[in-house]
Every structure is written in structure tokens, then in C-alpha cells.
Amino acid sequence: MFKAFFKSRQWFFWAYGGAVILLFALFIQVELTVKINEWYGGFYNILQKATEHEVSELWLEMEKFARIAFPYVLIATITSYFTRIYAFKWREAMTFSYVDKWQKVDEEVEGASQRIQEDIYRFARIFESLGLQVIRAIMTLLAFLPILWGLSSGVDIDFIKDIPGSLVWVALIVSLGGLIISWFVGIKLPGLEYNNQKVEAAFRKELVYAEDDKINYGKTETLVELFIGLKFNYNRLFLHYGYFDIWVNFFEQLMIIVPYLIMGPGLFTGLITLGVLVQVSNAFSKVRESFSIFIANWTTITELRSIHKRLREFESNIGY
């Protein structure tokens, strides 16, 4: 999987040159999000005491926002486009690397067509999305942790206000707690996804054979039997995803109000301004989302683990 792209002379410049370009683009995006966070502070402080300011100050703040937001939109769009190209190049490298080995194997390899076409495609597609998110999360943490640490001085809750960087510790604790609970709640999902692909492959294989030979393949009773197995596995999968979704949705909604629960009292005592409160909310959400990147993408990670397992088996079968 990785060797075909990152250890190949043919793909060296795409693998490493493209990675450098993506890292630089993500760095610029994170820096711009920091600028937007700083803008929140000044903008909402003006709104809090609007009668003490001129309306021209509002338009000036809007102009500042536009100077940050428009470059962000442009860079993010270009980054997304380039990431798709990068992922497709990775897929191309894997495809022909696998094909070369597969063609030299004499015995039949079960599900070879699905591994080469579908699983490689899905592997590249997930890395296009998940890989970029993980790198962005790391960069966001590096940028926003100092900000959130400094803003922790505005905490006015007795049992945590004397703890340095209390907001950072709260974000870390709730994220790790959420991750641990998510792991237990979704512990059966990878195995179910793996089994699901096996029954899907059997059903698809029967249909493919039936395209060329409808007399011996594609009989109704055979398809019904295969589909019953498919339905049974999907019902189990939907059930487990159901209670996992309950937990994730509850966790996400709870995290929206956490910064307000912590910082809200300081607003009423005059310790902080509205601008600081909004700035904290934004910084806390950035840090918490970065810490919780695996919770937010748990189903995607489950799918990736299943694909990785199948591709590893395929590599073993073709002597890769």
C-alpha cells in the first residue's frame, strides 16, 4: 500500500513533493484560522458596546474579515483539488504495482478484481479525506493550544480557575474520555464491516458469473440465499451503528456548550468580555475537534481498517 507510492522511484516526486505542497497549504490555512480567531475578539467586543462605537468601525471589521476569509477560501479550494489528484496518483501507483504481482501468480486469488479496483479506490479516497484531516488537526493543535492556554486566565469557576491552562486540560480530558467511550461503543464495527465485504463479494461474484452464463449462475434461489446473508449482516451493522451514532451525536451537542459553561460566569462578573467569550468558544472548539479527530471519523476509520485488512491479505496472496 505505502511501498508502491512512497518507495518507488517512479512516484518519488509526486509522493514527497506533493506531500510538501499539501503541508504548506495546510499550514497557511491554519494560520488564517488563527487570524479569524483573533478577529472574533475585536469584532464581538465592538458588538458588546455597539453604542460606544461608530458604524464605520463595523464596516472596517468586515473588511478585515474579508481579507482573511477570501484567501482562505481560495487556498482551501486549491488544496482540495490537489489532494484529489494526489490521492489518484497514489491509487495509480498501487493499482499497477499490485497488477504486476497478481499477473505472475498462477493460482486463482479470491476477490482479486475487487481488491484491485474497489478497495484500492476506497483506500485512496479515505486517505484523501482522513489523512488531510489528521494533519490539519495536528497543525491546529500546535497553533491553538497556546491561544487557549492564554485565554484560560478568564476562567472564573472555583475548582479549576487556579489550574494553569485549565481550558486545554478540559479539552484534552473530554476528548480522551470521548475517544475511550467511542472505542468501547464501536468495538464490533470493524469486524462487521469486514464480514460485510465478504458477503457483498459473494453476491457480486454470482451476478458477474451470471452475466456470461445465466443457465448455471444467477438462479433466483441462489441469489435469495446470498441476499439473506447480506441482509442479516447489514441488520447487525445498522444496529451497532445506531447506538454508536446516539453516543456521537450526544457527545457533539454536549461539547457545544462546554466552553460557555466554563467561561460564562466570567462574563457576568466582568472578568472577560463578549469578544473573549466568543474567542474562547472558537479556540476551544478547534482544540477539542483536533483532539477528537478520531471520534468524528470513527466510522471512516472502521472502514479503513476493514479495507487495510483485506488489502494485506491480498498482498500476502500475491507475494507482494
Cα–Cα separations (whole angstroms), residue 144 to 30, 32, 148, 241, 282:
9, 12, 6, 32, 10
Q: Which three cell numbers stand for residue 47?
A: 458588538
Residue 25 to residue 80: CA distance in whole angstroms: 10
pLDDT tier for residue 265 given thresholds of 50, 70 and 90: confident
pLDDT of res. 71: 95
Residue 111 has pLDDT above 80, yes or no: no
Overall fold of domain 3-317: ABC transporter transmembrane region fold (1.20.1560)
pTM: predicted TM-score of the whole model, two decimal places: 0.75
Contact 11, 89 (CB under 8 A): yes
Residue 109 has pLDDT above 80, yes or no: no
Q: Which three cell numbers stand for residue 292?
A: 477528537
pLDDT of res. 69: 95
pLDDT of res. 85: 92
Amino acid present at 209: Y
- Alpha helix stretches (DSSP H) within the chain: 3-6, 12, 18-48, 55-102, 112-114, 120-126, 132-151, 166-185, 189-212, 220-269, 274-291, 293-296, 298-317
Residue 123 to residue 129: CA distance in whole angstroms: 10
pLDDT single digits (tens) 21-48? 999 999 999 999 999 999 999 999 998 8
Cα–Cα separations (whole angstroms), residue 80 to 19, 85, 202, 275:
13, 9, 35, 32
Mean predicted confidence (pLDDT) in 2-17: 88
Domain ranges across the chain: 3-317
Burial class of residue 123 (count of CB atoms within 10 Å of its CB; 0-12, 13-18, 19+) = buried
Contact 284, 167 (CB under 8 A): yes
Contact 151, 276 (CB under 8 A): yes
Work out the mean pLDDT of the chain and round it to a whole number.
Answer: 86
